[in-house]
Amino acid sequence: MGSLFLVRHATTAASKAGQNLGQRADPGLAAEGEILAARTGAAIGAELAALTHGVVRIVSSPALRCRETAAAIAVAVAAAAEVELDAALRELDYGAWEGLTPEECATRDPALRARWKSDPYLTSAPDGESGRDVARRAFPVLDALDAWLTADRSRGAVVVSHNHVLRLRLTATLGLPLRDYRRLVVTDPGAYSLITFGGQRPVVRRINAAPPEGAPGP
């Protein structure tokens, strides 16, 4: 069965501080994020070995934090091809909320923040994007990858992206209301979800799996 790993990039200084990090800054991983990315790669490598896959593609958002995570995974799984970059997999544009904590967003724009918390799929961040905007650009890329995996069960793919992209996709795959994507699905830094293809419908086998603490780091 074709297997898809959806991976959130590893830890950054912003994720440690609980700050919004969208498209308007491009930091790399924190030191602990580099270690976490290597552990994530080792865990995915072990999963792929157990699933006995042939061709494995790695597709990443062009954000530095994702590229660094994808590079660590590529080393761990001994990927033959270069990491593919696709700008459609970028994080939600937080607009004026970039760099703020949830509390600071609520203080700055209390009414808008309340609407966004109720329905982040249809409500846009100020001068930024909504969840629907993210889905409209990211889902066609993921749909094409799903079709590629379905066509040959020996194929595997790893997508390294961001919090909103992955939560939206998992919510849609599970058939849940997209307005609830922030309430019903969690993706932590460095965690991965596993979806397999080959039957009539994709099967979600893991959600937000954390790599084992004992997995090797650099």
Residue spans of the domains in the chain: they are 8-151+165-209
Q: For the residues 138-144, what does the mean pLDDT come to?
A: 98
The predicted-structure confidence for 18-71, as pLDDT tens digits, reads as follows 999 999 999 999 999 999 999 999 999 999 988 867 789 999 999 999 999 999
Helix (H) or strand (E) holding 189: none
Half-sphere exposure of 145 (CA within 13 A, CB side): 25
Is the CB of residue 20 less than 8 Å from the CB of residue 44? no
Beta-carbon neighbour count of residue 111 at 10 Å? 8
Using the predicted structure, report yes or no on whether residue 150 has a pLDDT greater than 80. Answer: yes
Helix (H) or strand (E) holding 208: strand 203-209
CA distance 116 to 124: 7
CA distance 174 to 211: 23
Helix (H) or strand (E) holding 21: none
Task: Give the pLDDT score at 134.
Answer: 98
Task: Give the pLDDT score at 113.
Answer: 98
Taking the chain, what is the end-to-end CA distance rounded to the nearest angstrom?
Answer: 31
Using the predicted structure, report yes or no on whether residue 200 has a pLDDT greater than 50. Answer: yes
* pLDDT band (50, 70, 90) for residue 77: confident
CA distance 1 to 18: 37
| Of 90, 133, 125, 84, the residue nearest 104 (C-alpha) | 125
Residue keyed to tokens 């997209």: 178
Q: For the residues 103-123, what does the mean pLDDT come to?
A: 98
* pLDDT band (50, 70, 90) for residue 217: very low
pLDDT-wise least confident of 53-57, 88-92, 148-152: 53-57
More confident residue, 160 or 78: 160
Is the CB of residue 207 less than 8 Å from the CB of residue 195? no
Residue keyed to tokens 């990927």: 79
State the amino acid at position 117 in one-letter form.
K
Write out the CATH class of domain 8-151+165-209: alpha beta
Q: For the residues 178-196, what does the mean pLDDT come to?
A: 97
Tokens of 32: 């602990």
Task: Give the pLDDT score at 19.
Answer: 96
Give me the chain's average pLDDT, please.
94
Q: For the residues 205-213, what does the mean pLDDT come to?
A: 94
pLDDT-wise least confident of 52-56, 86-90, 179-183, 211-215: 211-215
CA distance 76 to 37: 10
Task: Give the pLDDT score at 103.
Answer: 97
Handedness of CA 197, 203, 207, 211 (dihedral sign): negative
Q: Are strands 84-85 and 192-197 parallel, antiparallel or unpaired?
A: unpaired
Tokens of 107: 């203080």
* pLDDT band (50, 70, 90) for residue 214: low
